[in-house]
């Protein structure tokens, strides 16, 4: 008899979030308003940064960030192929070109040695866009040093990295602009949404205007100021990227819990690490320079020691009622990127090999110990040849 399906990911929503959303609904203010402003202020305190802008997705935030640093058509931006497509597609929004480099075989973050080689052999590079894979920081000291040497900007994709600390400093206080995701599977979930953080007031002002159609002040600010509520000015062709107060209401309560969420994710990761130590797999590498947010727990199957492939492993987990995923299908394998840049699968060999072995296991705060042990039993049964 198959047990109740254990999904790969679930948001952890309590009565606090529900009550905050109900309060918003009863307030009559549903778009960007007091809850969004409060969420931004509390997030700024949490990260330790002066400027925060809530947006309707991490993708939107990355787009605004690249606009703010002045990316133009034809510019090149170094980034990783081992990510979700949003990281690179925002570069194309501006007519710029992603310059992919391979990943580190331990952390699965962008390889700084490959960044250095790309900088030596390419012109027109204006920025580096690292992704803090699974919740572990990239090698930011090396990236910052290269950015300084070549006069580049750094925009960080921190979709997985809340909260993550690099050498004691919060991700979000390192590069020029950092963007977080609050998608439903993330460590802080508002369903859809994201947050931009920066210490640069000029960037913040530019992105604030572009976030809502290039309007000089949003409707909440206009209703709170001395100018007539109907008056506004368009100062640039902008976008519809603002967060609404319903999502912000969720974010306010989720932020209060984010450290507790991290504690539970870490407990689950430690149980996995201990249980899987002697199995034909690699458990996630933890770099001493970075904490780990444990948005993802990605194992690497040692296929040369197994009688099954990665896809069969996933199917057998599914048959047992346990959800898994794969992070990520490298971008150079997808039709658009492959055809546009004439990529071959072997162009990024570490990313390819990592993908072929990768399985992401369930890890989220509402998993109880029985759920965790169920995952462990099934993984062991498959990899020890009992299934």
In degrees rounded to 5, what are phi and psi of residue 180? -105, 160
The tens digit of pLDDT for each residue in 26-50 reads 999 999 999 999 999 999 999 999 9
Alpha-helical runs (H) found in the chain: 15-27, 34-47, 58-68, 86-93, 112-121, 140-150, 201-211, 219-224, 245-275, 310-319, 335-341, 349-357, 369-383
Q: What pLDDT score does 344 carry? A: 98
pLDDT confidence of residue 228: 74
Q: What is the mean pLDDT of residues 104-122?
A: 98
Average pLDDT (111-131) is 98
State yes or no: pLDDT of 215 exceeds 70.
yes
Average pLDDT over residues 261-268: 98
Q: Could you read off the pLDDT of 82-93 as tens digits, one per residue?
A: 999 999 999 999
Q: What is the helix (H) or strand (E) element at residue 281, kind and residue range? A: strand 281-282
Average pLDDT, the chain: 96
**Is pLDDT above 90 for 5?**
yes
- Active-site entry in 76, 153, 186, 217: 186
Q: Can you tell me the mean pLDDT for 154-178?
A: 98
* Residue 291, C-beta contacts closer than 8 angstroms, at least 6 positions apart: 136, 137, 163, 164, 165, 166
Q: What span, in angstroms and rounded, lies between the C-alpha atoms of 369 and 255?
A: 24
Contact in structure between 165 and 150 (CB atoms under 8 Å): no
β-pair type (297-301, 281-282): antiparallel
**pLDDT tens digit sequence for 334-385:** 999 999 999 999 999 999 999 999 999 999 999 999 999 999 999 999 999 8
- In this structure, the strands spanning 153-157 and 177-181 are parallel
Q: What percent of the chain has pLDDT over 90?
A: 93
Q: What is the pLDDT of residue 225?
A: 57
Token pair, residue 220, equals 């909440």
Sorted by where each starts, the structural domains of the chain and their CATH numbers stand as: 15-256 (3.40.640.10), 258-383 (3.90.1150.10)
Q: Strand pairing of 177-181 and 169-170?
A: unpaired
pLDDT class of 62 with cuts at 50, 70, 90: very high
318 is catalytic: no
């Amino acid at each position: 008899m198959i047990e109740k399906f254990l999904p790969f990911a679930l948001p952890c929503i309590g009565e606090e979030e529900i009550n905050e959303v109900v309060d918003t609904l009863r307030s009559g203010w549903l778009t960007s308003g007091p809850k969004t402003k409060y969420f931004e202020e509390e997030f700024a305190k949490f990260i330790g940064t002066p400027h925060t802008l809530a947006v309707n997705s991490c993708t939107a935030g990355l787009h605004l960030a690249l606009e703010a640093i002045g990316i133009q058509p034809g510019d090149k931006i170094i980034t990783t192929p081992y990510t979700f497509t949003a990281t690179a597609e925002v570069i194309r929004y501006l007519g710029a070109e992603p310059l992919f480099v391979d990943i580190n075989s331990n952390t699965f973050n962008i390889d700084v040695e490959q960044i250095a080689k790309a900088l030596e052999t390419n012109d027109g590079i204006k920025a580096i866009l690292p992704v803090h894979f699974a919740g572990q920081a990239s090698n930011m000291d090396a990236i910052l040093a290269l950015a300084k040497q070549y006069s580049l900007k750094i925009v960080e994709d921190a979709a997985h990295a809340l909260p993550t600390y690099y050498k004691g400093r919060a991700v979000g206080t390192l590069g020029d602009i950092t963007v977080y995701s609050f998608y439903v599977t993330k460590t802080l979930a508002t369903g859809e949404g994201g947050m931009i953080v920066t210490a640069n007031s000029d960037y913040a002002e530019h992105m604030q205007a572009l976030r809502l159609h290039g309007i000089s002040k949003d409707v909440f600010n206009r209703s709170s100021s001395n100018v007539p509520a109907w008056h506004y000015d368009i100062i640039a062709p902008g976008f519809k990227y603002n967060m609404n107060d319903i999502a912000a209401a969720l974010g306010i309560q989720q932020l209060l819990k984010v450290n507790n969420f991290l504690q539970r994710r870490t407990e689950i990761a430690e149980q996995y690490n201990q249980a899987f130590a002697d199995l034909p797999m690699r458990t996630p590498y933890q770099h001493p320079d970075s904490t780990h947010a444990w948005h993802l727990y990605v194992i690497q199957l040692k296929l040369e020691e197994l009688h099954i492939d990665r896809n069969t492993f996933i199917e057998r987990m599914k048959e047992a009622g346990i959800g898994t995923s794969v992070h990520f299908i490298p971008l150079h394998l997808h039709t658009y990127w492959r055809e546009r840049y004439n990529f071959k699968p072997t162009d990024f060999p570490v990313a390819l090999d990592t993908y072929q072995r990768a399985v992401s296991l369930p890890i989220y705060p509402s998993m109880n110990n029985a759920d965790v042990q169920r995952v462990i039993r099934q993984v062991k049964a498959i990899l020890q040849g009992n299934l």
